[in-house]
Amino acid sequence: MVLALVLVGVSAGAVPVERRAVAAPEPEPVVLRVMPLGASSTVGEGSLETAGYRGPLQAMLARDRVTVDMVGSQHGGPASVPDRDYQGYGGMTLEDLRPKVAGWVRSADPDVVLLHAGTNDLLKGASAEQTAQRLDAVLSEIVSVTDAHVIVAGVWAPLQKDPRDRAEFDRLAAQVVAGYRERGHSMRYADTSELLESDELADGLHPNAAGYRVIAAMWERQLLAVTGRRAAT
C-alpha cells in the first residue's frame, strides 16, 4: 500500500502542523483476454511441465494484479497452470496460419494477441522476404476481424544455419508491424533476437524452463505497456 503525507497548514503561533498518513488508492484490477498464438513454442515444446511461457506468464501477471483469461481452441498443460487455453500447433508456419487465423481470432474474441510465428517458415526454406510477406498477410487477416492489441515477437530460436535470414526477417518484421501502427492499428513488435542464452535452450531450437521464464518476462513487459501498469516490486 502506498502512503501519502498530507500537511495541514497553520499560521504562526497556532496549533502545531498536523501530519496524517492517507492511503493512496490501489489501482483497479485488470482483466485481459489473452490469446497465445503460434507454433511449438506456444504449445510449450522444451518445457511442457510449465506449458512453455504460459505458466510463468500467468504467475507474473497475477503478481502484477492483472487477471488473464487465456483464450483459444486448444487446451493443454499441467494442472499447476491455472488457465491452459491457447492457439498453437507444432510445426505451423505463417503460411499454414493465414487461412485459419481469422476464424480462430473471431471465435476467441481476445483483448490481446501474443503472436510468435515465422521460425518454421525459415526452417522450411522460405526467405526472410517471403516470411515477412507471410507475416503481413497473417496480420491483415487478424485486423480484419478484431481491434485487439497484437504483440508480435520476433524469432527467438538461434537458427544457426540461417543467421542472415533470421536477422533480415527480424528487421523486415519490425517494418511490417510499424506499417500497421502507422495505419492506426494497435500493434507492437518485440525484438527477441538476443533474448535467450545458449543455456536457456532445451534442444538448440526450443527454450527450456529457464528460457520460457525469460520469454514470459518479455511478454509481461509488453502486456504491462499495453495496460499502462507497472510490474510488481
CB 94 within 8 A of CB 121: yes
Tens digit of pLDDT for each residue in 45-69?
999 999 999 999 999 999 999 999 9
**Cell, residue 227:** 495496460
Tens digit of pLDDT for each residue in 158-215?
998 889 999 999 999 999 999 999 999 999 999 999 999 999 999 999 999 999 999 9
| Alpha-carbon span 123 to 130, nearest angstrom | 12
Tens digit of pLDDT for each residue in 126-135?
999 999 999 9
CA atoms within 13 A on the CB side of 230: 4
Q: Is the pTM of this model over 0.85?
A: yes
